[in-house]
A and B are shown apart, each in its own frame.
Chain A
Amino acid sequence: MKILIVEDEPKAGDYLRQGLREAGFAVELVTNGVDGLHHGLEGDHDLVILDVMLPGMDGWQVLKNLRSQGRQMPVLFLTARDQIEDRVKGLELGADDYLVKPFSFAELLARVRTILRRGRSGLEATTLQVADLELDLLRRRVSRSGKRIDLTAKEFGLLELLMRRKGEVLPRSLIASQVWDMNFDSDTNVIEVAMRRLRAKVDDPFEPRLIQTVRGMGYVLEAPEGTR
């Protein structure tokens, strides 16, 4: 997966590049709008991460030009201004998502993966499995080591999200948005409590623990090394 980052702030750009590289993407970084457009037109990127305020040519212009020349790859906007007009403008011009600075890297990574997954249709799995944990989407049942686990509807939704995106660190804000449709910066405490209760049912009676807390980032569900 190739990602093009257009970001003029050098430190932010470098960290984004490093972070996304370490997450397994091939990353190209340019620092102005003109280069951004050029690389966007020439290259075969799967995603463009575009800062709105850029020297030379702003993000809107870059996006407009990309779209008018038939480039349909997804674009994620980074904006320092939390303006509704910005969002509307971006979406009208054909952006796929946007993030307001300051954002957490975990949030960016999760959004990037969401966008990139959208393109892939693939066969919709009816069961999800991680180690000995199984989740049956049709019958809405969960079992681990063959033992049935009773979950509430929201706990089921939470576990489904974690399992669908196993191995990915999911920030609390993304979890709140995806499971409860709460799209504002809410009490992070709520997610902690919900996660604790889910663990009590899914992890506590079993070995090994599958749901990990990544401090300062969020939560991830994955089988520990060597047990797979």
Chain B
Amino acid sequence: MPGRFSLTARLTAFYTLVSALVLVGMGLLVSLATGRHFVELDRDYLHDKIELVQKIVRESPSQAELSSRLDELLGSHHGLYIDLRQSDRLVYGQEAPRFPADLPTAGSGADPMDWDDGGQMLRGLSARFEVPMLPGATSQTALQLRIALDTAHHAHFLQALRHTLALYLLGAILVSGLLGWWAARRGLAPLRVMKERAMTVTAQKLDQRMPVDAVPAEFADLAQSLNTMLERLQADFARLQEFSSDLAHELRTPINNLLTQTQVSLAQKRDASAYQDILASNAEEFQRLARMVSDMLFLAKTEHGIELPNPEAIALEQETRALFDFYDAVADEKRIRLSLAGEAVIMGDRLMVRRAIGNLLSNALRHSPDDADVKVAIEKKGAAVALCLTNTGNTISADVLPRLFDRFFRVDKSRSHPDSDGAGLGLSITQAIMAAHGGSVTASSSYGVTTFCLMFPGSVAD
């Protein structure tokens, strides 16, 4: 499985590889430069000796004299070999070594040539020159000189150098690898601290945070993000806990009522109409429970981020009018005037959008005094569409406003709400529906005027 090596191992391997490359490069450079240096030294040396031989040839009066002086030269320069010929006639030379025919010429700038003569490492040059008169010769003569140097000592030196270099390289790579591992471990130590901290986070201990100040700058962002995530989780978790206990409470009260009522009824014989009454009352209570459960299911489903079941183009003014029609009788009872201004088309699920607006309208009608106005205004704001519903009534205080959308939240804390009042889920459902549409719902209230706005993200071109 790729990508499963630890960061320490990767960093160590990378560091080791880089230092190995650098060190090996250095070693090669040193060894090449040394070899090159020897070649140049040898070339100069061979040039010197060629000149010396030429001088000796010119100055020697006889063949015997020439031989003895060259013998003397070779005697004082260990590892030097000379081969001097006139055409094919050997003027001076030794049995060994054998010279190759194509030695580079001195002075041409070419490097001396290396060859192996039966295990002997040799490096040599050649030169042609003319002498006015060779002893025993009658006219000007062209001579060919081939000269060679035994390079065994160079080779020994280079081999020893390479050997030392290789040993040093191995050691250095090993040490740098260890250093790399140590550095990586030290560098990554904050990560282990974070890991240990993360291990301590559980549902009961969501208040643990990453040590942002104690980690290096590169990790600070990560630690910060993790902390933000933990905060969100903690908040969500707290909400969930609150919600569960609310739910238990909301269910316990009606179930308790039902149970008490039923047991009291059973405690004594009653006539049929009394039983009928009790059953009817139970049925109403059960219906409310069933409705609460289905509302909860709807919320749970919508909050999981559903895709809109049936997206279609919806004319908001038409939906609002249909809802006005529905609530007409209720509004009329309280002599509340319903009015509508503006129009816009949005993409959405008709049933859900109706429900969102319906919840707002139902709330407004419930909380408005008699003879009030409830106004719906539809406005296009760029690509977005806002549907705002305004009613008069008691001002909702600013600290309560954001909590309006919490499940089971009621402004009136006492639970003795009339039957018509919902379970306190209406605005949560509206909010969930808006979220599913990629929009939002906002509330504002001041001087006895309360406004709820549904913001839909994009309108269909009309």
Contact = CB atoms under 8 A, between A and B. Distances in A.
A84 B307 CA distance: 10
Given A82-B301, A189-B330, A193-B330, A215 B290 contact: no
A11 to B, nearest CB: 14
A183 interface: yes
Interface string A4-23: 00000000000000000000
Interface stretch (B64-72, B117-125, B145-153, B273-281): B273-281
Given A216-B282, A216-B287, A185 B295 contact: yes
A146 interface: no
Contacts of A194: 329
A102 interface: yes
B59 interface: no
A104 B288 CA distance: 11
Given A84-B309, A187-B420, A215 B354 contact: no
Interface string A169-185: 00000001000111111
Interface in B254-285: 276-277, 279-284
A182 B281 contact: no
B355 interface: yes
Given A84-B309, A183-B351, A184-B358, A176 B326 contact: yes
Interface in A138-193: 152, 154, 176, 180-190, 192-193
B420 A188 contact: yes
22 contacts: A82-B297, A103-B290, A152-B328, A154-B325, A182-B354, A183-B351, A184-B355, A185-B294, A186-B326, A187-B330, A187-B422, A188-B420, A189-B330, A190-B362, A193-B330, A194-B329, A197-B332, A215-B277, A215-B280, A216-B279, A216-B283, A217-B283
Interface residues of B, number: 37
B322 A184 contact: no
Contacts of A192: 420
Contacts of A214: 280
Interface in B303-361: 309, 322-323, 325-330, 332-333, 351, 354-355, 358
Nearest to B298: A82
A26 interface: no
A215 B325 CA distance: 26
A109 to B, nearest CB: 14
Contacts of B297: 82
Given A82-B297, A215-B281, A184 B329 contact: no
B288 to A, nearest CB: 9
B293 interface: yes
A131 interface: no
Given A103-B290, A185-B295, A197-B332, 8 more contacts: A82-B294, A102-B294, A154-B329, A182-B326, A186-B362, A189-B419, A190-B329, A194-B329
